[in-house]
Amino acid sequence: MVTQKMIKRIPKVELHDHLDGGVRPSTIIELAKEYNIKIPSNDPEELADWFHRGARRKSLALYLEGFHVTLSVMQTPEALERIAGEAVEDLAADNVVYAEIRFAPMLHTRGKMNSETVVESVLQGLEYGKKQTGIEYGVILCAMRDQTVSLETAELAVSFREKGVVGFDIAGDEFGHPPKKHVDAFEYIRSKNFNITIHAGEAFGMESIWQAIQICGAHRIGHATKIIEDMMIHGSRIEKMGSLSHFIRDRRMPMEMCLSSNVHTGAAKSFDEHPFPIYYRNNFRVFLNTDNRLMSNTTLEKEMQLAVKHYNLTLRDLEKITINAMKSSFIHHDERIRIIYDILKPQFAKIREEITSLT
């Protein structure tokens, strides 16, 4: 049986973590005072609860309301550097060994910063966090679905590829904003041999996932909860799949699963009805992520606990999905292999040895 103590010690890989969705409440309060910004509460616990209440309403649009507050205090180089450094520290406390942190540069240009300064500030903060904790990281730059600057963001991502940016994404409310509207950005990314992940199949159906893969050329899919609509299910067994779900599984296309977030946004009705165990038990390449640690009041440790509780995952299962994540990361192959064989496998082996010695 997997215990909470075991899960705490498990080395973790995080590939879907939004910088503006994981800010510390205490930091928001301090920065709001410094910049004279009105926020819902100046008490850390009350403010945290205000963010969590958005998650309890099970609507993506309502869930996204909290970002107006976090973004309001993320408009200076100093604030971004601090928040990025703290994000790495918080991930390290969760025993994350590699993380890909994503954000939309254009959402941080309300003040005097341009997009280049935004990215440089975040990278400085992440690098400081790395020096303090030893965590390896990559950055994913997001364009927003309802904006028209996706090509500029794609060009920005490629220009920083030698400095820590590893991929490009589009994010935001899917409804009315299909991936194909940003095809010029994705064509540019593909022409530069760069990496693509796309939020798809979270609040909209299979068409969004199909466009992300076949029109935009996604290498990973964020969420993809709706791909279950392309399957006939009996219990946890898939009796029949359509061409899209076959395509995803045949090509081992990674799907970034975010259990708490999906329930909080209404993408899944409940943890017990989440499609993750169906995907996992039927050999899709899936792994766990937090999405927005602040809004969903979660960590990777909590996400693993949920998977153990609701889907009876074993230590071997948790090792498999962790290695799935590392295999699916956007850093170079030799770096992925190094982390898998020098860090992940030895730490899981040590946990198993200790369990054996106690039985």
Q: What is the tens place of the pLDDT at every residue in 41-61? A: 999 999 999 999 878 777 766
Which position among 81, 100, 136, 202 bears the catalytic label? Answer: 202
The predicted pLDDT at position 113 comes to 95
Q: Is the pLDDT of residue 177 over 80?
A: no
Q: What is the tens place of the pLDDT at every residue in 279-320? A: 999 999 999 999 999 999 999 999 999 999 999 999 999 999
Cα 274 from chain centre? 17
CA distance 281 to 253: 15
DSSP H helical ranges for the chain? 4-9, 25-35, 44-55, 60-63, 67-72, 77-93, 115-133, 150-159, 183-191, 206-210, 243-250, 259-265, 276-281, 300-311, 315-327, 333-339, 345-358
Distances, alpha carbon 236 to alpha carbons 190, 209, 231, in Å: 36, 22, 11
Average pLDDT over residues 168-195: 89
Q: Is the pLDDT of residue 30 over 80?
A: yes
Task: Return the residue matching tokens 């008490």.
Answer: 43
Q: What is the tens place of the pLDDT at every residue in 126-163? A: 999 999 999 999 999 999 988 888 999 999 999 999 99
CA distance 101 to 17: 5
Q: Mean of the per-residue pLDDT values for the chain?
A: 94
Between β-strands 220-223 and 255-257, what pairing exists: parallel, antiparallel or unpaired? parallel
Q: What is the tens place of the pLDDT at every residue in 4-19? A: 999 999 999 999 999 9
Q: Is the pLDDT of residue 219 over 80?
A: yes
Give the tokens for residue 174: 């899917």
Q: Quick one: which of 357, 330, 278, 339 has its CA closest to 161? A: 330
Q: What is the tens place of the pLDDT at every residue in 184-202? A: 999 999 999 999 999 998 8
The predicted pLDDT at position 216 comes to 96
Question: 10 Å Cβ neighbour count for 151?
Answer: 17
pLDDT band at 348 (very low <50, low <70, confident <90, very high): very high
Q: What is the tens place of the pLDDT at every residue in 61-78? A: 677 789 999 999 999 999
Q: What is the tens place of the pLDDT at every residue in 82-130? A: 999 999 999 999 999 999 999 999 999 998 899 999 999 999 999 999 9
Percent residues over pLDDT 70 in the chain: 98
Q: Is the pLDDT of residue 175 over 90?
A: no
CA distance 231 to 281: 14
- Residue that wins the pLDDT comparison between 217 and 147: 217
Find out if CATH 1.20.120.160 is the number for domain 4-358.
no
The predicted pLDDT at position 242 comes to 96
Mark whether 202 is an active-site residue.
yes
The predicted pLDDT at position 359 comes to 66
